Structure formats: C-alpha cells, structure tokens
Structure 1
Amino acid sequence: MRDSHSESYKAAGVDVTAGYEAVERIKPLVESTYIPGVMGTLGGFGGLFAPDVSGMKRPVLVSGTDGVGTKLKLAFLMDKHDTVGIDCVAMCVNDIVCSGAAPLFFLDYLAVGKNVPSRIEAIVSGVTEGCRQAGCALIGGETAEMPGFYPDDEYDLAGFSVGLADEANMLDGSALQEGDLLIGLGSSGVHSNGFSLVRKVFGIDSKAVLDQNFPELGCTLGEELLKPTRIYVRAVRCMLHHGIAIRAISHITGGGLYENVPRMMKEGLTARIQKSAFPVPPIFELIAKTGKIPERDMYNTFNMGVGLVVAIPREQVGDALDLLAKAGERAYVIGSVVKGGSGVELV
C-alpha cells in the first residue's frame, strides 16, 4: 500500500496516503483491545473472531448498533475528539448486556470530511478505551473520506458490537416477579442522548457557550456535557458471575425512564420507581431550569442520573449492592416490581 497513491483522487479531496497514515497510527491502539478469539490483524477485508462456545448448550449471538448523535457537535466546537469513541462503544455494549450477553467484538464506522490522521487517532483512541472497559475487541472498521458531504472539520461516528450468551441464561424479563427490587446504576451525566434538546436549551453554537462555568457543575458546561457514557458491562458480568439472579435489565437511553424501563417488563407487572431514591445530577436540574422543561419531559428524555436499571430478587439486594460498590459503581435501590399498571410508574 505504500506505493498506492492517486493525484487525481487527491485533487478531488480524498487523500489515500493520509488514510494509510491514519491506519498506522491506530494499529497499536486497536491491538491493545485484543482478547482470546481474535484472528488476524487490522487491514483485512473482514474482522475475524472465533468465539469459545464450550459448555454452552445453545450459543446465541446478540448484536447492537448505534452512533454518538448530535453530541458530536460539541466535540467539533471544543476540538476534543478522544472521548466520543467511548460513547459509541457504550451505546452498543450497554444494550447487549441487557440480555445477559458478554460483548465479544466491536467495529466502527467513521465518515469524515477531511482525513486528518491525528484526529482519526484521537477518535479511535476513545473507541479502543471503550472496548477495553467493555472487555471486547476492536477487530475492524471503516474510515471514509467524504469531501463535499461533510465539512472538513466534521465527521460522523457509529458502530456495532456482537456478544454471546447461552440461550438458557439469557435475560428476557420472563422471570420477573412481584416484589423484585430495582437497582439503579448511576450515570456519568447526560451520556449520549437528548443532545438536540440540550443544544437548543443552552443555544450551543460556539465554543464560548461551552466554556461557561456553572458553580453547580464544578466545571465548564462543555466539560460536563462531553463526559463519556458509562459502560456497565463489567458490573453486570460481575453480578452474574457471583450468582446474582438478575431478572431483567434496562439501558436508559433516549426516551428516558418512561420509554426504556417498560421494555424489560413482562405483561401484568410494573416497575414502580421512587424519584427520591436516587440523586439527580446538577446538569439535569440546570437543563430543566434553563429551558423551562417540565419534569415529565425530563424523565421522558434523559436518564436523570440512572444509566441502567436492574431487577433482582429482594433477598439478593444486599449482596448485589456490595458487589457493585466494590466494582466502583454508584448504585441505589430505586423501586420495586408491582402488579398491574403500564410498565413503569414514577412516584
């Protein structure tokens, strides 16, 4: 590939040699995520992975795909690109773990207006950090230079992940029972949802807006909003490994608690959540106050401080909270499972 170049393509805005430089920069980052099962190395036409299915009666592949969304606009304004890759991984693997699966590998898709190798390296460094946090491997991806489609200093980032579970151990909510308790795992902030509303509320159209300091945040607005999405894979896998009989899990993404919690409930049962049982981070109070957003809309748009909801038997709550604390998670008993209703009730 070192002899590959095209002056005509470069004149059209696509620099293939910059692409090769970017690959060389990210190769050690990618290889730092490799786990048993990875086959080959970066540069092939497909990412290869040989899963270990020994001991499984019926292996099931579980996949998830997502992007970072308009949170990227903040990265562009702040010229900070090393954390959005964590968001990209998190939005995929947090979905996968809701079924009890362990993420195996991840692939990303990065479309840029102009290939700047150092910026590609920063973006992929975030992706690889997310993969390491999730315990999965980055086994491939695609970087597309698209002049005239994206501005030179903008890009889009998306990806997908594949996990593995034994069908007998998958979590689908069927085991939920009246009286089960709900544990909420604390979020790191807004995560990667609701940013169209966030940008409207604060009028985010320049770096100056993001450089504003708010005493209640303890940092600038931009620093708060760019905090990467928390990845919950290791926490969930830890609970399962130690025999916690998780009944169901909900990843609180776009649509907030009102939209996502019902997705883990079975018919005839409702998750009754006590809003006073967990702290709402200051950023959400600031959004609500600045934008005059009704409370119902806040809980139907944002995670409000709870990134994952886990339903477990009442008698195992103490053990689960101890395990989560040792894993570095902020966890709260936020409610219980009751009969009837419409899936979720916030009181």
Structure 2
Amino acid sequence: MTINYKQSGVDIEKGDLFIDSINKKISTNFSKNVIGKFGSFGGSFDISNLNVNNPVLVSSTDGVGTKIIVANQVNDFSSIGIDLVAMCVNDILCHGARPLFFLDYIATGIINIENLNKIVDSIIKGCNTSGIPLIGGETAEMKEIYKKDTDIDLSGFVVGIVDKEKMLPRDNVKDGDIIIGFKSSGFHSNGFTLIRKVFSEMGIDYKDNSIFYGKSWSDILLKPTLIYVNEIFKIIDIVKGIAHITGGGLLGNLKRIVKGSLSVDISYNIEQWPDLFKWLNKECKVNSEEMKRVFNCGIGMSFIIDPNDYNKVLSFFENDEIVVVGKICDATTVN
C-alpha cells in the first residue's frame, strides 16, 4: 500500500491550478519597480528611483480577525481582501510612510479555487486603491488545523517608505493642538467576535434585512475598511501625528502617539456616533465604555494638527468627511 500527499490532505495539483489562475491578474498589476516575475522565491522591489533623501522602510502585518467567518458563512469574499490591505496600509500611514508593495498569506482547510480567486481579486482592489502591487504571497492547505474544509484565515504584509526627517509622530505636538477624525465606513475589521456573539444571542441571521439603508446585515457587516492613503497624503505636510482607530478605540490608539506630559482630551461623544454604533450600544446592550474600547465608533483614522492649520484641512475635505474629535492637553489639566 502506498500513500501520497493528496491522501494526507494537500492537493498539489489543485494548488498549482490556483496559482495559474491568479498569475496573470497579479502580474498585470505590477509596477515598473517590481523586479522579476510572480512565483519567484521572493518578491523584489527597486527603491533606487524613489527620490527619498534618507529612506526608512516601514512594515506592518495584520489580518481581518473573525470578520472572515462572516464572509465565509454568507459566501461573500468580494471585499474581505480590501479589509486585509487596509488594516496593514493604514498602520504604516501612521508613520508617514507611503506604501510600496503588499504580500498575502491565505490558509485554508481545502483549496476552493473559486473562493480564493475572489479573495485575491479583492486584495488587488485594495492594492489598487493604495497605489501598490501585490508582489507575492503564500497559500497553505492545512486540513488538520482548519478542521472544516471551508475554514479560511488571512494575513497581509505591507512595506512602505518615508524620509527619516518626515517620520510621524513629530516631536512638535503641543498642548492645544486639535485632533481631527476621518469617518469610518462602519465596523471596519475590529470587534467581530463581539458582534458575532451579539448576533447569535439575538437570533439575527446575517442574511436578514437590517434596519439600516435597506441592506442586509451581511452587507452592513462586510462593508470594507476604508483605505486612507489619498486623504492622508493631501495633508501630510501639516500633520503632526496619525492614529489608525482599530481595537482600543479612539482614545486607546491616540495614546500610542502622544508622548511625555501630554494627554488626549476626547470631545467626540455618543450623540455623534453613527446610528449603527448607537444601535449596538442601546439595543444590543453593549455598554458605552466597552463600545469605546472595542470599536472605532465612526472614526477610522485620526490626526493631530496645529489649530492654525484647520482651514487648510477644510480646503481639502467636505465637512461631512471629517470631524473634530478632541484636542491635546497637558496631562495635569485632564480629569
């Protein structure tokens, strides 16, 4: 009796078919800086012509958490890759870095070529929004770890570049600076373990019609995380610090970029939250402090500026795109 890899749970032929199916769509999105071809042992990217005086590479890795479970349960993978790119790219924006390239990692119980293609298509969409190529990745078929054939997990990796003299946060953040927020599209990619628990206990099916915008709950929950590359680089020269609002909420993430005796005074309040977050708070009995600790509550990215630069910011954005969420204070003046 002989045994082979396929009988053990890894279908090499199907894996090769998947790689063949994505080769062209990935290769055609390569920029002129990409060296070599898709499928090489490593992805190579030429930075010699980027005209950065003192280049610093900034990297980030992230996933989409249990949002992938919602996508899996409703069989909708059309946007989950955008979330993957956003979670990584938005993080390096906080250091003032312009993203250069992206890599992905897809792990699954069994390779479903159709579903994995949808995921890759959405990753490419996220990369296109960010202005970067997907230069490589890995697909792992691990039936012993992912017990259900349909189980999937995603990880992403981004590298960006910034001039060392322009890295964020800057050292000139001071008492009285104001904090502005870019609005989120919804839950983005955080808090889904809690959301799923709430939906389960309330008996809500993801395919049911929601009470918002005439859309199903799955449409609401799977709305992709916004990517803020274009917005941030409109104002990068006047920004002193940036925080990506993910797990930890507005206050928790802003604290990560404020140094010394300075503190954060948040004025953004429950009345300003989008209806979706108010619903989760009031109807689903998730208390306000937990909401502020777990969710973005309507603010996807925040940044610090001098008050004198506020009108410059307004010249780039409509009033409904941004909101003042607080200010920087001396820690001794904050209760």
Q: How does 1:89-104 map to 2 (within 5 A)?
A: 89-104=85-100
User: Does structure 1 residue 308 correspond to structure 2 residue 301?
Assistant: yes
The 1-side partners of 2:255 and 2:23 are apart by: 41
Q: Could you tell me how far 1:137 is from its partner in structure 2?
A: 1.4
Query: Partner of 1:177 in structure 2?
Result: 174
User: Does structure 1 residue 251 correspond to structure 2 residue 244?
Assistant: yes
Letter paired with 2:190: N
Computed over aligned residues only, the root mean square deviation of the Cα atoms, in angstroms, reads 2.3
User: Does structure 1 residue 288 correspond to structure 2 residue 284?
Assistant: no
Q: Secondary structure at the match of 1:34?
A: coil
The 2-side partners of 1:283 and 1:339 are apart by: 33
Query: Partner of 2:77 in structure 1?
Result: 81
User: Does structure 1 residue 339 correspond to structure 2 residue 330?
Assistant: yes
Q: Secondary structure at the match of 1:33?
A: coil
Query: Partner of 2:65 in structure 1?
Result: 69
Q: Secondary structure at the match of 2:162?
A: strand
Letter paired with 2:155: A
Closer, same or farther in 2 for the Cα pair 1:341/1:123, shift >3 Å? farther
The more displaced of 74-83 and 28-37 is: 28-37
User: Does structure 1 residue 323 correspond to structure 2 residue 316?
Assistant: yes
User: Does structure 1 residue 193 correspond to structure 2 residue 190?
Assistant: yes
Gaps in structure 1 of 5+ consecutive residues: 1-5
The 2-side partners of 1:219 and 1:120 are apart by: 25
Q: Could you tell me how far 1:54 is from its partner in structure 2?
A: 5.2
Residue 229 of structure 1, aligned match among 209, 222, 225: 225
Asked whether the equivalents of residues 213 and 219 of structure 1 are also in contact (C-alpha less than 8 Å), the reply is yes
Closer, same or farther in 2 for the Cα pair 1:73/1:54, shift >3 Å? closer
Q: Secondary structure at the match of 2:4?
A: helix
Q: Secondary structure at the match of 1:275?
A: coil
The more displaced of 288-297 and 152-161 is: 288-297
Asked whether the equivalents of residues 256 and 299 of structure 1 are also in contact (C-alpha less than 8 Å), the reply is yes
The 1-side partners of 2:271 and 2:263 are apart by: 19
Write the deviation string for residues 215-243 of structure 1: whole angstroms up to 9, x where unpaired.
Answer: 23531111101111110112111222xxx
Closer, same or farther in 2 for the Cα pair 1:54/1:224, shift >3 Å? closer
Aligned length: 333
The 2-side partners of 1:37 and 1:204 are apart by: 50
Residue 216 of structure 2, aligned match among 211, 215, 220: 220
Query: Partner of 2:152 in structure 1?
Result: 155
Letter paired with 1:281: P
Q: Could you tell me how far 1:278 is from its partner in structure 2?
A: 8.1
The 2-side partners of 1:210 and 1:14 are apart by: 32
Gaps in structure 2 of 5+ consecutive residues: none
Letter paired with 1:188: S
Letter paired with 1:239: I
Relative to the length of structure 1, the TM-score reads: 0.90
Closer, same or farther in 2 for the Cα pair 1:279/1:219, shift >3 Å? farther
Letter paired with 2:216: T
The 2-side partners of 1:77 and 1:32 are apart by: 31
Q: Secondary structure at the match of 1:163?
A: strand
Query: Partner of 2:17 in structure 1?
Result: 21
Query: Partner of 2:205 in structure 1?
Result: 209
Closer, same or farther in 2 for the Cα pair 1:111/1:91, shift >3 Å? same
Asked whether the equivalents of residues 173 and 266 of structure 1 are also in contact (C-alpha less than 8 Å), the reply is no
Q: Secondary structure at the match of 2:66?
A: helix
Asked whether the equivalents of residues 272 and 336 of structure 1 are also in contact (C-alpha less than 8 Å), the reply is yes
Closer, same or farther in 2 for the Cα pair 1:237/1:8, shift >3 Å? same
Asked whether the equivalents of residues 181 and 313 of structure 1 are also in contact (C-alpha less than 8 Å), the reply is yes
Asked whether the equivalents of residues 33 and 131 of structure 1 are also in contact (C-alpha less than 8 Å), the reply is no
Write the deviation string for residues 40-88 of structure 1: whole angstroms up to 9, x where unpaired.
Answer: 1211100111114654332111000011111111011100112111111
Relative to the length of structure 2, the TM-score reads: 0.93
Closer, same or farther in 2 for the Cα pair 1:278/1:291, shift >3 Å? closer
Asked whether the equivalents of residues 291 and 297 of structure 2 are also in contact (C-alpha less than 8 Å), the reply is yes
Letter paired with 1:262: K
Q: Could you tell me how far 1:204 is from its partner in structure 2?
A: 7.5
The more displaced of 262-271 and 76-85 is: 262-271
The more displaced of 277-286 and 129-138 is: 277-286
Letter paired with 1:219: K
The 2-side partners of 1:231 and 1:98 are apart by: 12
Q: Secondary structure at the match of 1:214?
A: coil
Q: Secondary structure at the match of 1:132?
A: helix
